[in-house]
Structure 1
Amino acid sequence: MTALAERLTALDARIADAARAVGRDPGELTRIVVTKFHPARLIDDLAALGVHDVGESRQQELTAKRGETTDAVSDVRWHFIGQLQTKKAKAVRAASDCVHSVDRDRVADALHAADPEGSPLDVFLQVNLTDDPARGGAAPSEVEALATHIAARCASLRLRGVMAVAPLTAAPAEAFERLAGAAATVRRVVPDAAWMSAGMSGDFAEAIAAGATHLRIGTAITGPRPDRG
């Protein structure tokens, strides 16, 4: 617990420094702790340290951990940040407060159909910043059409902004500038979709400089992921 608290404090200080360096208020940023492969008790520990947002990338893990954590995490928001299959949309919606990976009409439709009369679900439109169409995310040329579809056809989804992972083959700053361009496109469709989910342990400073509002930080806070085998 002491080591976890020290890593969390150190990382938050680095985030604050990166924000101030580009004239931004650190209070504008949401730090999401990615707990992939870690046991549910880690989320209890994080909540005790004041963490309000955690992220999972696998539906089974998300569902299981949300069921295993204690009442102490009732204030925690659960973010689904992994690729989403339409067949798992119902389970993801049931266990998530926010979904970062809506990348095509069918995913949006499946999430909406899972609870069309329910409380609005915050979603990000995921953008593919690579040249590989097999990677998750909508192509930049598809962003406007997808945003329009979500806004017009999926009333139970609240489009908040865009999300992306910087490709390994490009400088993060350049990639996140392209994401900022996609964000501007989305805002032409949904003017208040001002969030940007970008930046991980190794590139959050570049993401902050490009306008990120939500940072997905894993090992810099949690330490190495446990051996699964």
Structure 2
Amino acid sequence: MTLAARLSAIDEQIADAAREAGRDVDDITRIVVTKFHPASLVADLAALGVTDVGENRQQELTSKRAELEGVPVRWHFIGQAQTNKAAAIRRSADVVHSVDRDRLADALHRAAESDAVLDVLVQINLTQDAGRGGVAPEGAVGLADHIAGLPSLRLCGVMAVAPLDEEPASAFARLRSVADAVRAQHPDASWISAGMTADFAQAIQAGATHLRIGSAITGPRPVRG
């Protein structure tokens, strides 16, 4: 199957899931995750009309964006962010989905150049493993408040990954509850970044606005030596 055919097939499935949830598909943004794929694939995606791509690693984000200067895509950083890489992430990302602590938010803010504003989301940890990325659900509003106080950051909403040992629908219902609590304090924080290839239909049912879909569109990741 070609890249165009895979993209079209996923978009049809997204549209079907949106209809089933009684939602307008135009309210849902599909982010194509291009981890480990060459920059040329991003250019091919852009030629097919893709406007949003995601990267998990700062080095890969930085190199691809530099190589594709002028290609009209919005770059989403969706991986775990180290504080010491905040400046490099900020230089290359249009959106950072994985802000999970005050210290990282502060580092991204300090890295601001001129009066540019960076879109960010609060990453929520839906597991019981404190070592996983994300703030605990009960800490989400506090982190959102902290981000909202940093003028170079724009709080857009929340992000999470469904745990492997829980039904996605249940996990995303909990995420929706956290998202509603954040939005009660910050009405413009309307994004819910949730759902990947295996569970985006359940994410859409729970109100996801941004889906992060990789190999179902891009094909298998290249083998790395």
Q: TM-score range by the shorter chain?
A: over 0.9
Q: C-alpha separation between the residues in 1 aligned to 2:49 and 2:103?
A: 36
Pair 1:96-2:93 in alignment: yes
For each residue in 1:91-150, what CA deviation from the matched residue of structure 2 results, as whole angstroms up to 9, or x when unmatched? Answer: 000000000000000010000000164321110100000000000000011111111111
2:33 equivalent in structure 1? 34
Q: TM-score, normalised by structure 1?
A: 0.96
Q: How many residues align?
A: 225
Q: C-alpha separation between the residues in 2 aligned to 1:158 and 1:132?
A: 28
Q: TM-score, normalised by structure 2?
A: 0.98
Query: How do 1:137-216 residues align onto structure 2 when only pairs under 5 Å count?
Result: 137-152=134-149, 154-216=150-212
Pair 1:224-2:220 in alignment: yes
Q: Where has structure 1 moved over 3 Å in runs of 4 or more?
A: none
Q: Gaps (5+ residues) in structure 2?
A: none
**Are the counterparts in 2 of residues 84 and 101 from structure 1 also a CA contact under 8 Å?**
yes
1:62 equivalent in structure 2? 61
Q: Secondary structure at the match of 2:46?
A: helix
Pair 1:106-2:67 in alignment: no
Q: Secondary structure at the match of 1:15?
A: helix
- Report the aligned-residue RMSD: 1.0
Q: C-alpha separation between the residues in 1 aligned to 2:197 and 2:142?
A: 31
For each residue in 1:52-100, what CA deviation from the matched residue of structure 2 results, as whole angstroms up to 9, or x when unmatched? Answer: 00000000000001111253x1x20000000000000000000000000
1:76 equivalent in structure 2? 73
2:8 equivalent in structure 1? 9
Q: Percent identity?
A: 65
**Are the counterparts in 2 of residues 162 and 195 from structure 1 also a CA contact under 8 Å?**
yes
Q: Secondary structure at the match of 2:2?
A: helix
Q: Aligned partner of 1:83: which letter? A: Q
Q: Secondary structure at the match of 2:10?
A: helix
Bigger mean CA deviation after superposition, 88-97 or 180-189: 180-189
Bigger mean CA deviation after superposition, 172-181 or 183-192: 183-192
Q: Aligned partner of 1:225: which letter? A: R
